[in-house]
Homo-oligomer: A and B are copies of this chain.
Amino acid sequence: MDSEELRNAGLKVTTPRLKILTLLENSAERHMTAETIYRLLVEGGEVIGLATVYRALAQFEAAGLITRHHFDSGQTVYELERGPHHDHIVCIRCGRVEEFYDKVIEERQREIAASLGFTLSDHALTLYGQCNSADCPGRNG
């Protein structure tokens, strides 16, 4: 249950936090901006403040419940952490986001960091391209 997750993260169990966490868990779209999360909740009839959404997301991130990404669009998007680490590929036409994990790349990163005298703690890898989804507007353009 969501209450457990919040307690385990050392956060008080409050109504707004539960609403946000539940939305993140139930949304088909896994990568959302703070504004989008806020809008979806308000449209769903909830009473919540935008500042509360930002605060909760910052806390969730600090607790490791969610991850923050900066894709090239410049917008900050949040993603619920579930399962193991992965990177992203974003369609430059329709914005669709897919996830992938590649052991070779992960290992090379560690080797490169070491060779440059860095202790690797994190990385951000995003590929950009055009997808072949039937819904992608750029497919036949």
Contact = CB atoms under 8 A, between A and B. Distances in A.
A121 B92 CA distance: 9
Interface residues of A, number: 36
Nearest to A122: B128
Nearest to A110: B127
Nearest to A127: B123
B89 A113 contact: yes
A42 interface: no
A36 interface: no
A71 B122 CA distance: 12
Contacts of A89: 112-113, 116, 118
Interface in A67-82: 68, 70-72, 74, 76
A121 B90 CA distance: 10
Nearest to A130: B119
Interface string A104-141: 11001100110011111111111111111100000000
Interface of A: 68, 70-72, 74, 76, 89, 91-92, 98, 100, 102, 104-105, 108-109, 112-113, 116-133
